[in-house]
Amino acid sequence: MELPLLSFFLLCMFFAAPSCGTYYTPPSVPRLTDLVPNVSIDQYFAKIFGAANIQLMSNGSSLNLTLNKHSGAGLVSRSKYHYGFFSASIKLPSGFTSGVVVAFYLSNADVYTHSHDEIDIELLGHDNRKDWVIQTNMYANGSVKTGREEKFYLWFDPSVKYHDYTIIWNKYHTVFLVDNVPIRELRNSEAFYPSKPMSVFVTIWDGSEWATHGGKYPVDYRYAPYVASFEEMEINGSVSPPIATVPSSSKTNVSSPDTVEGPEFVKLSQQQIDAMDWARRKLMFYSYCKDTSRYKVLPPECK
């Protein structure tokens, strides 16, 4: 065995890094996604760019978004929401995906140009063949100069099958979850918390300038097209301003926006806290709260 290969093998043994093809079995957690109804993507979303790269299927219940050398693609919710449960089951492109960004996020930047709120799940392609990184980020009341990014490796290959990516946002806290495992929580505070109604966005786009190692590895369109597939979209929240209820799918165990104010959604259980601790210890590799070279004075919530 040559020395470089031996070194790589030893690193994989000692660190069990996901980039080495080693994946983990996550802790058991409640399946919150089972409590919220699916919605029709066709009824709840409108196209905003790259119409030729948007393919709705199964009577509007599933979706393919494509990135090629001509364009990415994106949808925006037809309504704005003031708090809610937002989830999408996503299968990511396989192969060499550096620079590719698949995003599921909330924002009101179109309305509040200088004081917008945003809650981001961004799935970033990687320079290794099967690696994807999940980046979470938040802005509140126009704090656009203070990014609050945290980055994690995933404990599975997200290009093999669908996985759930979820945002819970209510007056108590904001939680990011992957396959129902919490990976990050921000509790409400007056100093920093998204507070204004936001739209839901679903996009795929070229993030060559920043997404992979600060732009070191741009999108290589020799491997295009890149296709991200979505299904089981879930939205349960307070529409702002209130409108008539849009029909949902056959899931009927939950139908009211008040659901996201229930006990399962307003506070993490000890089981969920333990699972979040597992994810943060084992898989988080960047947090703005530890980036003292970027922030001479850390944001107040880091304390």
Give CA–CA dist 27/25, Å, rounded: 7
CATH assignment of 35-290? 2.60.120.200
Find tokens 């992979």 and name the residue: 212
Q: How confident is the model at residue 161 (pLDDT cuts 50, 70, 90)?
A: very high
Q: Which residue in 122, 150, 232, 234 is the catalytic one?
A: 122
Which of the four pLDDT bands, split at 50, 70 and 90, describes residue 10? Answer: very low
The pLDDT of 157-167, averaged and rounded, is 97
- Higher-pLDDT residue of 66 and 195 is 66
Looking at residue 261, what is its pLDDT?
85
pLDDT beyond 90 at 263? yes
Tens of pLDDT, residues 211-261: 777 778 899 999 999 999 999 999 999 998 754 444 444 343 334 556 688
Strand runs (DSSP E) across 118-197, as ranges?
Answer: 118-125, 132-139, 150-153, 163-169, 173-178, 181-187
User: Mean pLDDT, the chain, as a whole number?
Assistant: 87
Catalytic residue among 2, 118, 190, 232: 118
For the entire predicted model, the pTM comes to: 0.88
At 62, is the pLDDT very low, low, confident or very high (cuts 50, 70, 90)?
very high
pLDDT confidence bin for 144, thresholds 50/70/90: low
Question: Stretch 277-301: mean pLDDT, rounded?
Answer: 93
Determine the pLDDT at residue 142. 74
Tell me which of 67-71, 139-143, 186-190 is least confident. 139-143
Given a cut of 80, is residue 174 above it in pLDDT? yes
| Residue in this structure with the two tokens 């979303």, named with its chain if needed | 45
122 is catalytic: yes
pLDDT digits (tens, 9 = 90+) for 99-116: 999 999 999 999 998 889
Domain boundaries defined on the chain: 35-290
Cα separation of 136 and 182, whole Å?
Answer: 12
Look at residue 12 and tell me whether its pLDDT is greater than 80: no
* pLDDT score of 130: 58
Helix (H, G, I), strand (E, B) or coil at 118: strand
**Rounded mean pLDDT of 1-28?**
54
Active site residue 150: no
For 257-303, the DSSP string reads GGGGGSHHHHS--HHHHHHHHHHHHHHEEEEGGG-TTT-SS--GGG-
With a cut of 50, say whether residue 73 has pLDDT above it.
Answer: yes
